[in-house]
Structures are given as C-alpha cells and as structure tokens.
C-alpha cells in the first residue's frame, strides 16, 4: 500500500487528488491537507461575487469538502503543513503530526504581494486571493464605504475596481506605471485608461503609495501617495491590494527544494520537482516555461493549475503502479483575458519589448475593425495589435481590446502561436464566418494581413 500526500486543496491539488483516487487501487491512500475552509473553488470569480453578479461563495465552489470525502479522499480541512523532510519522506502539520508519504504533491497556490509600508496591517486593507479574502471584502461592504482605493491596476486590480464601480462606490486606482494593465502595449493600455476614467474612476498613474493612514481604532482612513503631482492623501474606507501574487513556496524553500521566478518551485515537464525523488508540484506555486522563448515564467491561472494537476496525477500513478506516464505539461504562451465593464481585453504571446528581449526583430501592426459584418445591427469595434518576427515571419503575440465578443478572438492567435505558425499561415486559416459573428476576414486575419504587408514592404 502507498500513501500520496497532497498539500493544498484547490485547483491543482484537488484535480491531482481526484484523478489519483480514481486511478489508484482502493488500498492506496490519497491524503489532502488544506489549511483553509474551502476546496476546488474559483478565485477568479471573486470580483464578480463582490460586484453582486455572483450570488455567494458557494456558487464559486466546484466541489465541496463533503463531496471529496464521499469520493474516498482523506481530506483534512483546517490542517496546515508546516515542514517537510524529503529524506525521511514526512510532512509535519501544525497539529504536530508527522505524516509519512510515498509520493508528495505540493499545490499551495500563490499569495498576494503585500507591501511593507507604514499602516499596511490596518483594518480594512485587504488582499483578494481566497474565498475567505472575498468574504472579508463582502463583510467590509456591509459598513457602506464611501471611498475605496485599489492599489495596482493589473487584472485583479482592474476587476475589483469594476466591482466597486458597479456598486456605485467612489473608487480610486493607484498605479506606479504610466498606464493601467502595463502588460499591454501603450495604445491599448490608453484605451483601458480612457474607459476607467469614463466610468468615474480616479486613476492615479505614475504614483506610489507611501503609507496608509489609520484612525484611532486602527482602521484605514486614507492612502498617502507620491508622484509627479507631489504628495497627496486619498480618502479610503476600504483598500484592496491588487499588486499581483508570488508563489506560496516558503514550505518548499525551507525544505531545500529549488525555486525560481517569483518563488515558483522548479519542476520538469511531468511536474516532478527538480532533483528530488518522490515530490511533485503544480499550480500557482510553480514556475513554468514560456513556449515561445523557452524561458521560465510564473503565470498563476486556474487553467494551468488544472492541467498541471492532471499531469501530476498521471505521473504519480504511473510511478506507483510501474506504468509508463502518458502526460506532460509543455508550457504556456501567456494567454489571458479580462474586462472592464463593457470593454474586453485579452493578450497572448509576446509584446514588442518581450520579443526584442528574446532576440527577435519584431514587426508590430495595429488595426481597427468590427467584431462582425459592419452592416449588422450593433456591430462593435475592436483593436488588434500583432507582433511578428521579421526573419521567420512567425506570429509572436496578439493583443485585443474591444466591445462585447472581442476578447475571445485571442484564442485563435494563442493556437497559432502554439503551433509556431507564420502570419501568412494565419491569413489562410479556415475560420468561421457568418455576418452575425464576423466579417469575411476575422479580426485576427485582418491584423495578420497588415503584418504581411509590413513584412513585404
């Protein structure tokens, strides 16, 4: 009999545990240690819960602890792993128990970046990573805050700002970069900034937070900032930190396991931890590989976590049962999508500077087009920016900003980048066409045609 211990009960951990429970004989144990009170939930849905578009936390749970227990997983809620001994193959918990394992799966997720600034530990200054975090924001809204400040304008910052706008709360966003969503090229980021200000958000760019001001009870009442306009204090009854995340890998690092980008645990394509027998890792706590550049990246998304959990389960089961493994995780092309109110935003692959840094000579084109035949009622507008390599004509990256139904256009580009297609190949793709859905040339193909012209000039 073998025992698999999984640390972490969300996307990667429970995907691995559930698949292992289905594949392994019943005499094998699958033990999951989850320090929180939820399993298998969508953290990405938290902003929409806060906005009131999702009813409650239960709506974001794909499978409850009770359901996992019913399927034969030894799930231990409220139990935290505090130490690993990879030589003795044991996990120590916060209750003092030492659990022996034959295979260990690390799936601790990520943790919000929390700046070390005066007042940051005050009441009402919240991160958003777990359902518990989301509940704390919901609870804070019961006090009817008049002013909310969101620090950071990446994906989570943008989505939380939208949630507060929908609720009618005066919202300010503080961003140290010149524009929001700085992973976009400048013309597209400018469209996002215009949309934010158009919905009444006070957007402070090129601005740093220097401290948080607290009242006598220790609750936040203001955010002190400094920037090109000098120092200022933004009123705040609630602050949400949207500064991104780091891998939650302190447990692994303390045990001597290798870590890389943003603390991500280093693994191979079968999610085996590099240089350590019997240990696998998956999800937001690992680094992965960009398929275009070959470089390591940390990209915390549920899509990757679920796939990596599948790969872990396949490799662990194959190892324990003496069978050949079938799956690998080949890496990512950094595809992402979000929205701000009616504006949809998506990207995949490399931006111009990323392409240069990777040794390419990029050609960049940007086109404006419609999301369907222009003569159809309510046809919307979108911008597609495309990056291609001058020497090979290979498609390197695509970014899309536009109205409803614009964002998912990026999926065709993500597929083309993964397949290492040229822009000429993209022009000739057999993509779906009917007037209610697209013009004769898909928006991605319109951009590809512009790229071809630029390359041929």
The active-site residue out of 3, 23, 37, 44 is 44
Q: Strands, E, within 390-452: which ranges?
A: 395-402
Contact 410, 398 (CB under 8 A): yes
Residue 414, CA distances (Å) to 183, 252, 396, 452 in order: 16, 32, 9, 18
Which residues, 6 or more positions from 208, have their beta carbon under 8 angstroms from its beta carbon? 174, 176, 225, 226, 227
Report how far residue 308's alpha carbon sits from residue 418's, in angstroms, rounded to the nearest whole number. Answer: 17
Q: Are the CB atoms for 323 and 315 separated by under 8 Å?
A: no
Nearest to 200 by CA among 243, 240, 162: 162
Residues 6+ apart with CB under 8 A from 112: 127, 128, 129, 133, 241, 243, 244, 245
CA distance 104 to 252: 11
Instruction: Report the sign of the C-alpha dihedral through residues 352, 358, 361, 363, in that order.
Output: negative
Q: Is 44 one of the annotated active-site residues of the chain?
A: yes
**Which residue is associated with the tokens 């158009």?**
198
Residue 141 buriedness (CB in 10 A; 0-12 / 13-18 / 19+): middle
Locate the DSSP E strands across 242-307.
Answer: 245-247, 279-281, 288-289, 296-297
Long-range contact list for 211-216, CB < 8 A, 24+ apart?
211/117, 211/118, 211/119, 212/117, 212/118, 212/119, 212/120, 212/122, 212/125, 212/236, 212/239, 213/119, 214/119, 214/122, 214/123
Q: Among all residues, which ones are annotated catalytic?
A: 44
């Amino acid at each position: 009999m073998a025992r698999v211990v999984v640390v972490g009960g969300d996307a990667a951990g429970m995907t691995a545990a559930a698949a292992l429970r289905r594949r392994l004989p019943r005499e094998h144990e699958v033990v999951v240690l989850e320090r929180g009170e939820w399993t298998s939930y969508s953290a990405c849905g938290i902003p929409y819960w806060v906005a009131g578009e999702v009813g409650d936390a239960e709506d974001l749970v794909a499978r409850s602890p009770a359901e996992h227990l019913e399927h034969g997983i030894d799930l231990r809620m409220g139990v935290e792993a505090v130490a690993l001994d990879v030589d003795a193959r044991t996990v120590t918990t916060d209750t003092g128990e030492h659990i022996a394992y034959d295979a260990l799966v690390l799936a601790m997720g990520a943790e919000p970046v929390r700046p070390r600034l005066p007042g940051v530990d005050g009441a009402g200054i919240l991160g958003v990573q777990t359902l518990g975090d989301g509940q704390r924001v919901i609870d804070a809204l019961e006090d009817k805050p008049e002013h909310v400040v969101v620090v950071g304008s990446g994906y989570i910052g943008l989505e939380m700002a939208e949630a507060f706008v929908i609720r009618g709360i005066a919202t300010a966003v503080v961003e140290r970069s010149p524009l929001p969503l700085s992973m976009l090229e400048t013309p597209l980021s400018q469209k996002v900034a215009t949309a934010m200000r158009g919905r009444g958000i006070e957007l402070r760019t090129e601005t740093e937070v220097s401290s948080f001001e607290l009242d006598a009870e220790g609750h936040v009442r203001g955010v002190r900032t400094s920037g090109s306009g000098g120092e200022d204090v933004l009123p705040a009854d609630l602050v949400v930190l949207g500064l991104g995340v780091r891998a939650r890998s302190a447990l692994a690092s303390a045990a001597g396991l290798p870590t890389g980008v943003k603390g991500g645990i280093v693994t191979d394509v079968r999610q085996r931890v590099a240089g350590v027998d019997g240990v696998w890792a998956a999800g937001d706590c690992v680094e992965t590989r960009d398929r275009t550049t070959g470089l390591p990246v940390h990209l915390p998304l549920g899509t990757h976590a679920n796939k990596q959990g599948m790969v872990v389960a396949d490799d662990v089961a194959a190892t324990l049962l003496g069978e050949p493994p079938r799956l690998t995780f080949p890496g990512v092309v950094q595809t992402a999508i979000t929205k701000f109110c009616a504006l949809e935003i998506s990207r995949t692959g490399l931006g111009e500077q990323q392409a240069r840094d990777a040794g390419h000579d990029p050609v960049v084109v940007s086109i404006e087009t419609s999301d369907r035949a222009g003569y159809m009622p309510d046809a919307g507008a979108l911008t597609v920016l495309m990056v291609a390599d001058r020497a090979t004509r290979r498609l390197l990256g695509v970014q899309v900003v536009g109205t409803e139904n614009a964002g998912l256009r990026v999926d065709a580009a993500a597929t083309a980048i993964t397949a290492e297609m040229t822009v000429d190949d993209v022009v000739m793709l057999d993509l779906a066409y009917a007037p209610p859905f697209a013009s004769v040339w898909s928006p991605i193909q319109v951009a590809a045609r512009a790229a071809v012209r630029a390359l041929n000039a």
